[in-house]
Structure 1
Amino acid sequence: MASTTNPVLGTRALNRATLARQLLLRRAEMSAADAVGHLLGLQAQNVTPPYYQLHARLAGFRPEELAGLMESRDVVRMVTMRSTLHTHTARDALTLRPLVQPARDREVGAFRKGLTGVDLDRLKARSRAFVEAEPRTMGEIREELLREWPAADPQSLSVAARCLLPLVQVTPRGVWGRSGGVRLTTVERWLGEEPEPGRAQPVDEVVLRYLGAFGPASVKDMQTWAGLTRLREAFERLRPRLSAFRDENGVELFDLPDAPRPDPDTPAPPRFLPEFDNLLLSHADRSRVVAPEIRGRTWTGNQAHRTLLVDGFVAGLWRVDEGEGAGDGAGEGTRLIVELFGTHTRTRKEEIEAEGHELLAAMAGGAGSVRFGSIHG
């Protein structure tokens, strides 16, 4: 728990600070590569979300910019934090994955029953040689491993290969308008690097970067973002360099001393966020962006909906009809459907509509219409 002498940051203060770090209070004049690095990667379980994340955050962003970075291998798609796919800069791909490797090793342990008799070191070596000869599908990797361990559980073999090796999805997967099936190779082979033991970014450096992108935050918040445990020691080492606060529940929060913490009444424009946006997944306590009364409305089963921020908080859902994410010029027939939670003023709805038209112009190939209604209609 925090010291009672630490300043208290209310929900709106946390909201505005986090939006500022996330480049969501105003669009940043920043390159896509710099933004991906600043944000420590973009959640990328689906192909198009990284593009929509950058559109919400960067002035003048066009999908072709990130697509070009994918094709030049300056950014890559791979499993890192929370065992989920992220789009990372090349440097972070090489150094963040080793940092979270202990969590991936534990994940393999959960499938150990299906790996009876399997030498994991040999599995790792065989998988590496197979995918470095040429990019492979997961099905091909599984079949290759079954040749040596036919009695093993096929899914467990796939999980072991995915967890033990830093596999990237090679292009055209992830390229706007061109995305194909998933084929995998190691990050080192894709980037022309040699494997280096101990290459992980120092954990203290990552703590500072996390606070710069998601702070103010608790130890538990960062552990939720990274999918790691036992980070308290790093925060304590850094304590002399950090500012300490507490939230309204008394939880201790850390932050960079000079990081922006705007006035809680700072205006926050509407923003359309894709499914699995980092903003909604990177804190243990999400009340800074998701009000308790709407918890659960942004998900159906295991699938996240696309969300709308109004005054900095999740206030609705959205979808695009016709040509969604294709980057192929959907034209006049494109419709943005917006489902609002609660009631909103006419002025607020006009702001949402204007932001929606900007989304359609940049991401759906041109003009279209914005309609308020149910996304399930």
Structure 2
Amino acid sequence: MLSLRALNRATLARQHLLRRADLSAEALIEHLVGLQAQAPHAPYFGFWCRLKDFRAAELSQLLTERKVVRIAAMRGTVHLLSARDCLELRPITQVVFDRAVNLPNVDLAALAKAGRDLVEEKPRTNKEIGELLAPLWPDHPPESLSMAIRDSLPLVQVPPRGLWGSSGQTRTTTAEHWLGRPLASAPSVRAMVLRYLNAFGPATVADAQKWSGVMGLREVFAQLDLRTFRDDQGRELFDLPDAPRPPEDTPAPVRLLAPFDNLLLSHADRTRVLSDEHRKIVITQNGLVSGTVLVDGFVRGAWKFDQARDTAAITVRPFVRFTKKVSGAVEAEAHDLLAAAAPTATPTVRFAQAGA
């Protein structure tokens, strides 16, 4: 049996949230099997709460050197992946995108070839792709055509998208063209499941399917040499035999999780870190996910980063009343984040009124 707190501590240990890791940004990306990255700068906050000595320039350099890419993958959402994982995982998750394609009376192979020719000629925006394809398929809206290309091809978002301190339209080209290498011809679903458990376990089959968007994984789990547990609801959990599972009374420091952090999105049952009550506040109906405050390992508030020309602020919204000790720890963590994210700005940490 694993209690809720034991499950919480095991997951935090895998996520490097019990203590910051002495790893490179690229190593952390591969350990976590990517970071969800709809918001261009969200992954940077994910690194700051997990690494001992992270600088934004390190990740920006990985993107410009094509060692890391921004690409829609697990769950059909944009992730930050290493180049190696992009080529290995994107073919596995293609089934997620195949379910989304809905263009009747269109030769999808011909459409994909036309789209590939366009984006490999030069990176293009979705609007440009749709407008250029519209004369060939006039019976379909340009937006539908560009979305079909996004679902049919492994499109990476090229810099300056995702660079710290930069902005610009989202332009894409194919992963093969950008990285100069083909996608994996025989990607291993078993390896993907093992890596998921290493980063997010212990977990149920449903958890792994929720994280990846790939269904039918029970057979894969059955082929693996795994330890099994039960949670306090009686569900069967699987884990790597030698993975860390700290005692449930292991201290968990305050952490400011990034917006869209995969810790909150990679299990069918998220109560190991996020209660059902607070989930309704953190994750909106249109899919936005707030930055959150972990207190004793569980989400107990939300936070928001704002920057003007000479100032930077973090506003913390507690969901419960913080003790003086917890407030001090949250404020210290927020100031450290501001010093890393906006070193030349005047920092401010504000607390909104407590309450869910």
Q: TM-score range by the shorter chain?
A: over 0.9
Relative to the length of structure 2, the TM-score reads 0.96
Q: Does 1:368 align with 2:347?
A: yes
Question: Following TM superposition, by how much is the alpha carbon of 1:365 offset from its aligned partner in structure 2, in angstroms?
Answer: 2.0
TM-score by length of 1: 0.91
Q: Which amino acid aligns with 1:218?
A: T
Taking the TM superposition and a 5 Å limit, the aligned residue runs for 1:28-177 are 28-108=21-101, 111=102, 115-177=103-165
Corresponding position of 2:187: 201
Retained in 1: the 8 A contact 2:126–2:147? no
Equivalence for 1:274: 258
Does 1:311 find its partner at 2:291? Answer: no
2:203 matches 1:224: no
Rounded to whole Å, the distance in 2 between the matches of 1:199 and 1:190 is 18
Q: What CA deviation, in whole Å up to 9, does each residue of 1:186-235 have, x standing for no partner?
A: 00110112x35x52530110111000000000000000000111000000
Bigger CA drift: 309-318 or 286-295? 286-295
For residue 49 of structure 1, report the CA deviation from its aligned partner.
Answer: 0.6
2:219 is the alignment partner of 1:233:
yes
Task: For structure 1, list consecutive stretches of 5 or more residues without a partner in the other structure.
Answer: 1-7, 324-329
- Rounded to whole Å, the distance in 2 between the matches of 1:25 and 1:201 is 32
Q: Secondary structure at the match of 1:362?
A: helix
Aligned to 1:252: 236
Cα distance in 1 between the residues matched to 2:92 and 2:277: 36
1:210 aligned to 2:221? no
C-alpha contact (below 8 Å) 1:94/1:199 kept by paired residues = no
The letter for the 2-side match of 1:216 is: P
SS of residue in 1 equivalent to 2:2:
coil
- 2:347 corresponds to which letter in structure 1? G
- Counterpart of 2:5? 12
Q: Secondary structure at the match of 2:135?
A: helix
Distance 1:370 1:151 in 2: 53
Structure 1 vs Structure 2: percent identity of aligned residues? 53
Equivalent position amino acid for 1:122 in 2:
A
Residue by residue, what CA displacement relative to the aligned partner does 1:272-309 show, whole Å, maximum 9, x if unpaired? 11211000000000000012332301133322221111
For 1:285, the equivalent position in structure 2 comes to 269
Supply the distance in 2 between the matched residues of 1:235 and 1:83 (Cα, whole angstroms): 22
- Unpaired segments of 5 or more residues in structure 2? none
TM-superposed deviation, 1:374 = 4.9
2:322 to 344, 357, 367: 344
* Matched AA of 1:370: V
Q: RMSD of the alignment, in Å?
A: 1.6
